[in-house]
Structure 1
């Protein structure tokens, strides 16, 4: 793990960087990043709208955490062209966690800095009353072919809009037979139901949930929808669901599943997006 930690008695000079921002809630950022820890590394994009961290398995499953501009008290980005960079997710989460516990102050804020060109991603928290500054640095590096790329989609089916309680969906996923290679997700407008089916070593299984079961916040399904996904790719989403309060399910016409998860902190909320390719579109 590439990190440096230092605590000094005098805050001293401020850091001047091409990017800097004062995070309102460290806890929210940590939970967003924990939700996408499905691979060792993440790709970070520094854009006008905020920071985007993506992780995934060769684009078959891609998770994106949005640390948006409104999650910062101040968000400063120079005119520098920021090339996306790779960063160790576990190191970044650990650094943020260490900084959040570094002092006895009640504030949940910290400052982030990045100067581009392969420089470190820096995290700083200042306790003015104690005259203490805590800093962490996480090394960044060039993106290789295994890092996930972000593909923004706008081709979702307008006839389908379903929002579920995240706790309900994670319980559904935990009930799936772990010996099942593929899971079929089906939604029907006939009885407004959500059904999962598959075949495991003990035979076929099925689970069915109606729109009024208490698991759904809203249910709009105007046509039959049924797509299959690899078990491991579906289960990769459970880590994010644990941190979320609700999840918005969307599909493209060719079966790409998108889960937009809402993750909350006091007076703030953030979003993580999972994109999962259907098994039929993956070469065996």
Structure 2
């Protein structure tokens, strides 16, 4: 079996898993599957070096990702006006299975999930260097930039007897140019040893304030797995992102991570590393020699 057929098979299995959870009323698990699959499809759509799919097929994959996110949104907010029903989502199963030969009109009037501009690390650094030069000469404007959504944080999971849940309060991050960061926010994810998502990625709202060399968040993030069920060797990643108005893209400035043996109640500070984010933790480079860190506070909830 070719690699592309294996990929399609994997997507189909994930889709079935999500719709099964959905039909059984296991909504948290369904949201997990839908969001992870939506991100996998988006990644394929945004890939510039993949010739496995035509542009038209990628557009269809992007529309499927939109529908997955719409259904996920419907499950998270029962009062949502944008209700997207399970019966409608199930109509997409044959499209995923037959994406290489599918040539009919898409059954729903949706647009593909908006593509984030993804840059190669070298390209992004070059653009940032240009921005620094512009700032030095007074060129460019930072007045007009699109408002960000208020984050995609998920509620705490239901408690289970003998199981532990983890809430991480992101308190603040220290950066030498903290005051220059526009619309800063944090993307939080739980990755296994291979760098794959264990649960849906969450974005915090934009930071609450900037003060000297610190950007303050003071926001709680509920990890969407019971601590006892987190795979061995996994880590929680924190990617600090900010908007680049002149270039029109959101950039990852640095990242940090928390390993499972560091999970314990109370405050903790963790080191910041240079981008690009290394989810496999193989080639880590500290961001700076200065005493600047990500400040967190951990709370463990145990149902005994």
TM band (smaller chain): under 0.3
The structure with the largest strand share of the pair is 1
Given the two structures, how large is their TM-score scaled by the length of structure 2? 0.26
Given the two structures, how large is their TM-score scaled by the length of structure 1? 0.27
Higher RCO (C-alpha 8 Å, min separation 6): 1
The structure with the largest helix share of the pair is 2
